[in-house]
């Protein structure tokens, strides 16, 4: 892994101190202070990165509110990236909920009010003729990863317009903190195509384009101009689509996945971490994935993306496609999705249950979830509905009657939208359920036994995928690469390894987990022939060479 090195820079004085990628604050040496015109611009005492990290943690800890801690970390990142990532790396489990879910949700909601300074690119629809110029304004010629959003479906909070920029910034922070991606090679982007959030449009402080969202052909033409400009500026970049509304998410993924190296984290990343969790639970219970019966509550792009990944995995496990689809039941606001429903989205049609299968159940759109659970007898229950409290005691106890060790996954974010809290699920199942949530939760104590709660967080997956793609010089993200990532994640699961603990590894081990996932993804890319193939260096050496760690360089 990379460590301290000597580099030559061409910035001086206050300009150097204003560059977060180069700034070392009080850690500049005497020689550097002389050479780069810093004498008197800094306090006399010269400190180490360790010294600075201790002070930064004291400052972080002095804030009581999570949003204030988020603001502090964002300001630190904008001043000194190396110190920021050292601090986050030292306290990752504590700071992950602050830089990402659930606190990032509040940060996006209040983005215009807490805005301090520019980071990344805002490409607004009225600037569509200037996209090439906007990208040229970025002085990073070697961008490896872009995370882009249009802010329409931020977590479970809906349309937050330009405030959605908090998501790409947070995601790229995790690419670096968890997956070792050099922060100098990352770029967050927001496509500002307006907002239909009337509260934002009425807010004089809203920093985005005050206009209703652009739709239809105008929208897709704008995205096309953006993608074409990115491909011209950075032809080898990994482009991650993030928090697009379901009406656009899947069409954009299908349109571009064979044109450039890209993926949609809400559809594919969520699917991979969920599949990895299912693999882990099956190993722990010593059962086969092919034998599971799964209910999804929430049949949007995320839920259907997970379901399609499971269908593919069940086929690998020996089922036919029809048999696999017959074991998955999707529920949306109109009830159980069946093939006689009118006007259902294309991505739901292949997952609709035949009416002949469920006709005798006499279900209606108003049928209770527990009634559907009684008929399906699921072994796995997954929530991506954004409806708080939907997995009530009746639902969970009904499931538990038919499955002694159910896997329950309330994945909706932020915490205020979760389908059920882990303490209730474990109480209603006498501690026998396996639980994975979208947001972080403390262990649950029942009668003296502590039950760790796995956070089914995409941060387990996308940093490792990104590192693997960069190391292998892959030019596509294939389904098999994603499947390899899910298997690698499950191999790291404590409960899969020993039968005890959480279904996913601790975030304390996330860098090792990311390296393992990256190796699996890169190896699969090589086997599929979607790499440039110019580098003969052994794969593990390439992964370690690309893994950036927060350490100051010596400026010569």
Q: Is 176 helix (H, G, I), strand (E, B) or coil?
A: helix
- Residue 42: φ, ψ to 5°: -130, 155
Tell me if residue 171 is catalytic.
Answer: yes
What is the enclosing helix (H) or strand (E) of 408? Answer: strand 407-410
Q: Is 457 annotated as a binding residue?
A: yes
Query: What separation in angstroms does the CA of 425 have from each of 278, 418, 434, 526?
Result: 17, 12, 9, 42
Q: Is 243 annotated as a binding residue?
A: yes
Q: Is 413 annotated as a binding residue?
A: yes
- Residue 397: φ, ψ to 5°: -70, -35
The residue from 24, 36, 171, 460 that is catalytic is: 171
Rounded Cα distance between 347 and 506, Å, is 33
Rounded Cα distance between 399 and 375, Å, is 10
- Residue 212: φ, ψ to 5°: -65, 155
Q: Is 123 helix (H, G, I), strand (E, B) or coil?
A: strand
What is the enclosing helix (H) or strand (E) of 35? Answer: helix 30-35
Rounded Cα distance between 89 and 77, Å, is 13
All residues at 6 or more sequence positions from 244 whose CB lies less than 8 Å from its CB, including other chains:
149, 150, 152, 153, 252, 264, 266
Confirm if 413 and 429 have CB atoms less than 8 A apart. Answer: no
H and E: helices and strands count for the chain: 26, 16
- Residue 99: φ, ψ to 5°: -85, -15
Q: Is 266 annotated as a binding residue?
A: yes
Q: Is 116 annotated as a binding residue?
A: no
Residue 68 token pair: 């204030």
Confirm if 308 and 271 have CB atoms less than 8 A apart. Answer: yes
The residue from 100, 256, 279, 460 that is catalytic is: 100
Question: For the chain, what is the radius of gyration of the CA atoms?
Answer: 24
Rounded Cα distance between 545 and 394, Å, is 52
Confirm if 37 and 28 have CB atoms less than 8 A apart. Answer: no
Residue 165 token pair: 């920029």
Rounded Cα distance between 476 and 531, Å, is 8
Q: Is 119 annotated as a binding residue?
A: no
Confirm if 533 and 480 have CB atoms less than 8 A apart. Answer: no
Rounded Cα distance between 455 and 441, Å, is 7
Residue 104 token pair: 């990032």
499 secondary structure, DSSP code: S
Rounded Cα distance between 177 and 179, Å, is 6
The answer for 432, left when phi > 0, alpha when psi is -120 to 50, beta otherwise, is alpha
Binding residues for a divalent metal cation: 242-243, 266
Binding residues: 153, 242-243, 266, 413, 457
Active site residues: 100, 171
């Amino acid at each position: 892994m990379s460590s301290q090195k000597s580099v030559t820079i061409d910035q001086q004085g206050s300009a150097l101190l204003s560059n977060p990628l180069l700034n070392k604050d009080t850690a500049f040496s005497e020689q550097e202070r002389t050479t780069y015109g810093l004498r008197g611009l800094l306090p006399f005492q010269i400190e180490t990165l360790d010294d600075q990290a201790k002070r930064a943690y004291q400052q972080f800890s002095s804030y009581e509110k999570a949003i204030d801690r988020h603001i502090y970390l964002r300001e630190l990142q904008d001043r000194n990236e190396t110190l920021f990532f050292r601090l986050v790396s030292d306290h990752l489990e504590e700071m992950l909920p602050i830089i990402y879910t659930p606190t990032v949700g509040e940060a996006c909601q209040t983005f215009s009010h807490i805005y301090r300074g520019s980071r990344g690119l805002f490409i607004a629809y009225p600037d569509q003729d200037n996209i090439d110029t906007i990208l040229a304004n970025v002085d990073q010629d070697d961008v490896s990863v872009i995370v882009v959003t249009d802010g329409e479906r931020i977590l479970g909070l809906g349309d937050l317009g330009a405030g959605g920029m908090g998501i790409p910034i947070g995601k790229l922070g995790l690419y670096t903190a968890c997956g070792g991606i050099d922060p100098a090679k990352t770029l967050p982007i927001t496509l500002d195509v307006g907002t239909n959030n009337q509260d934002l449009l009425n807010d004089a402080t809203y920093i985005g384009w005050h206009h209703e969202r652009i739709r239809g052909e105008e929208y897709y033409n704008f995205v096309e101009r953006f993608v074409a400009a990115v491909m011209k500026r950075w032809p080898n970049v990994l482009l991650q689509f993030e928090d697009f509304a379901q009406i656009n998410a899947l069409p954009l993924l299908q349109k571009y996945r064979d044109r450039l190296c890209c993926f949609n984290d809400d559809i594919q990343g969520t699917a991979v971490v969920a599949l990895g969790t299912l693999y882990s639970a099956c190993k722990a219970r010593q059962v086969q994935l092919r034998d599971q019966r799964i209910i999804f509550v929430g049949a949007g792009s995320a839920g259907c993306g997970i379901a399609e990944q499971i269908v593919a995995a069940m086929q690998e496990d020996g089922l036919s496609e029809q048999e696999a689809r017959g074991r998955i039941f999707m529920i949306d606001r109109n009830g159980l999705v069946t093939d006689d429903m009118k006007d259902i989205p294309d991505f739901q049609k292949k997952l609709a249950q035949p009416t002949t299968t469920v006709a005798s159940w006499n279900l209606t759109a108003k049928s209770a979830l527990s009634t559907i659970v009684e008929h399906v007898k699921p072994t796995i229950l997954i929530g991506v509905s954004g409806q708080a409290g939907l997995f009530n005691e009746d639902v969970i106890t009904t499931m538990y009657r038919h499955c002694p060790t159910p896997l329950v996954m309330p994945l909706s974010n932020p915490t205020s939208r979760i389908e059920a809290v882990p303490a209730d699920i474990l109480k209603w199942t006498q501690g026998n359920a396996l639980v994975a949530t979208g947001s972080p939760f403390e262990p649950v104590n029942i009668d003296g036994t502590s039950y760790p709660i796995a956070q089914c967080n995409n941060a387990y997956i996308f940093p490792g995928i990104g590192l693997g793609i960069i190391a292998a010089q892959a030019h596509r993200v294939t389904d098999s690469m994603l499947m390899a990532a899910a298997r690698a994640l499950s191999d790291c699961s404590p409960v899969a390894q020993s039968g005890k603990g959480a279904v996913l590894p601790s975030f304390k081990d996330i860098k090792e987990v990311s390296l393992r996932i990256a190796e699996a993804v890169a190896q699969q890319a090589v086997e599929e022939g979607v790499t440039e193939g110019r580098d003969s260096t052994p794969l593990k050496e390439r992964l370690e060479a690309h893994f950036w760690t927060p350490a100051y360089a010596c400026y010569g």
